[in-house]
């Protein structure tokens, strides 16, 4: 009975342990919010490749690189030349999937892909791994969740350092994303 009560207590407190010291980033336009394991930096990116504008919101710890977790939210505002109004849902999903996977394909490989719902919108889940930066076959995977809302793609990506084995931050990061 004591073990059962302890297990219930651990399950009940688990989210609080994970969320300690997380930083809530709220979009200045009040479109979305998300939590990062620390205060992220925001980088406005230039237009190009069918993207009218974009920004990258990213947190990377400055200490303890062996256990580091890199968390990134990329927001892309697509041009009408890429996301034509007459595109059907299948074509729109292909655009989403291609943009979500492009950064991973430049430095690694896609291991699996699946359709999901992200913040109530149709999306894609991609699991991959970086192969160019590291010659280690055991390099931990990269996880991406993405959705397309109107002409905006939201790409959430989490990358683990080679020695990081705790994947609980991944679930917390993905679940913290909210569109208003």
pLDDT of 72 reads: 87
Q: Is residue 39 part of a domain?
A: yes
Note every long-range contact of 28-34, with CB atoms under 8 Å and residues 24 or more positions apart, other chains counting. Answer: 30/180, 31/179, 31/180, 32/75, 32/119, 32/154, 32/177, 32/178, 32/179, 32/180, 33/176, 33/177, 33/178, 33/180, 34/73, 34/156, 34/173, 34/176, 34/177, 34/178
Q: Is residue 120 part of a domain?
A: yes
Q: Is residue 163 part of a domain?
A: yes
Q: Which CATH number characterizes residue 172's domain?
A: 3.40.1000.10
Residue range 61-74: mean pLDDT, rounded: 75
pLDDT of 180 reads: 81
For residue 65, is pLDDT > 90?
no
pLDDT of 34 reads: 93
Number of structural domains the chain divides into: 1
pLDDT in tens, 69-101: 788 888 999 888 888 888 888 888 888 888 888
Q: Is residue 9 part of a domain?
A: no
Quote the pTM value.
Answer: 0.80
Q: List, in order, residues 6 or more apart from 114 with CB less than 8 Å away.
A: 124, 125
- Name which residue leads in pLDDT, 175 or 11: 175
* Least trusted range by pLDDT, from 11-15, 100-104, 156-160, 167-171: 11-15
| Domain containing residue 81 | 22-179
Q: Is residue 1 part of a domain?
A: no
Q: How confident is the model at residue 2 (pLDDT cuts 50, 70, 90)?
A: very low
pLDDT in tens, 121-161: 889 999 888 776 555 556 667 889 999 988 899 999 988 77
For residue 117, is pLDDT > 80?
yes
Q: Is residue 10 part of a domain?
A: no
Q: List, in order, residues 6 or more apart from 180 with CB less than 8 Å away.
A: 30, 31, 32, 33
Q: Is residue 129 part of a domain?
A: yes
pLDDT of 168 reads: 80
Taking only Cα atoms into account, the Rg of the chain, rounded to an integer number of angstroms, comes to 18
CB 124 within 8 A of CB 100: yes
Q: Is residue 156 part of a domain?
A: yes
């Amino acid at each position: 009975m004591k073990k059962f009560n302890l297990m219930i207590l651990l399950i009940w407190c688990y989210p609080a342990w994970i969320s300690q010291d997380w930083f809530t980033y709220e979009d200045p336009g009040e479109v979305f919010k998300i939590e990062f394991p620390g205060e992220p930096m925001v980088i406005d990116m230039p237009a190009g490749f069918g993207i009218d504008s974009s920004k990258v919101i990213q947190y990377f710890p400055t200490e303890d690189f062996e256990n580091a977790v890199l968390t990134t939210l990329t927001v892309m505002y697509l041009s009408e030349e890429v996301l034509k109004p007459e595109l059907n849902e299948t074509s729109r999903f292909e655009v989403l999937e291609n943009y979500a996977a492009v950064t991973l394909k430049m430095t690694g490989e896609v291991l699996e892909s699946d359709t999901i719902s992200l913040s109530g919108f149709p999306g894609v889940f991609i699991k991959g791994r970086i192969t160019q930066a590291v010659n280690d076959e055991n390099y931990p995977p990269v996880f991406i969740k993405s959705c397309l809302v109107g002409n905006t793609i939201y790409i959430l990506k989490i990358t683990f350092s080679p020695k990081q084995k705790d994947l609980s931050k991944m679930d917390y990061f993905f679940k913290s994303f909210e569109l208003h």
